Amino acid sequence: MEEQTNVYRELFTTFFKIGAFTFGGGYAMIPLIRTEVVEKKQWMKEEDIVDMLAVAESTPGPLAINSATFVGYHKAGTKGAACATIGVMLPSFFIILLLSSVLRQFEQLKVVSYAFWGIRIGVLGLILHAAGTMAKGCRKDLFSYIVVLVAFLAVTWLDISSIWVLCLCGTVGIFVTTASEKRMDGER
């Protein structure tokens, strides 16, 4: 019982720390989550992170919360999911509560606007790092590159909802993988 309580506490504190020290939302948290969950704590494997991102992206809600819920559930079931989720949400809640009460007084200061400019640039770097990490865990063949390009174009230039693009990509993935497995079974 004591060991399980320690797991819940560790999930909460790990995700509280991630939530407290990451600016820019879920994508900016991905490198920190990966470092904590895969490298330091070894709660998951590298390929599990790609699965976590796929589930977190395709379910309703913020990526950071969905990712924390996924990791917590993977490690310690429903209570673990609750601990990780609450841990990642609390810092944002308190920071926004604090900032909303004082931001109006300071938003006209140049140093504040410069700080937000720097934070945005840093967040972009974290997002690019997350994209690179995700790319390492994906299939690399011509068809995969075509799917990435079509999905990017659909969201960027055709303004198609990312939800529809994700659903379509998931459907394509099911059909292509199933067809590939059938072809491989037929060759045996």
Residue 116 has pLDDT above 90, yes or no: no
Domain boundaries, the chain: 2-138, 139-188
What are the tokens at 162?
């990312």
Lowest mean pLDDT, pick from 26-30, 92-96, 149-153, 167-171:
26-30
Look up the pTM and report it: 0.60
Query: What are the E-state strand segments in the chain?
Result: none
Q: What pLDDT shows up at residue 70?
A: 92
Residue 27 has pLDDT above 90, yes or no: no
From residue 147, alpha-carbon distances to 1, 165, 187 in Å are 47, 10, 26
Classify 161 as helix, strand or coil: coil
pLDDT digits (tens, 9 = 90+) for 41-74: 999 988 888 888 888 887 878 888 899 999 999 9
Quote the mean pLDDT of the chain: 86
Residue 1 has pLDDT above 70, yes or no: no
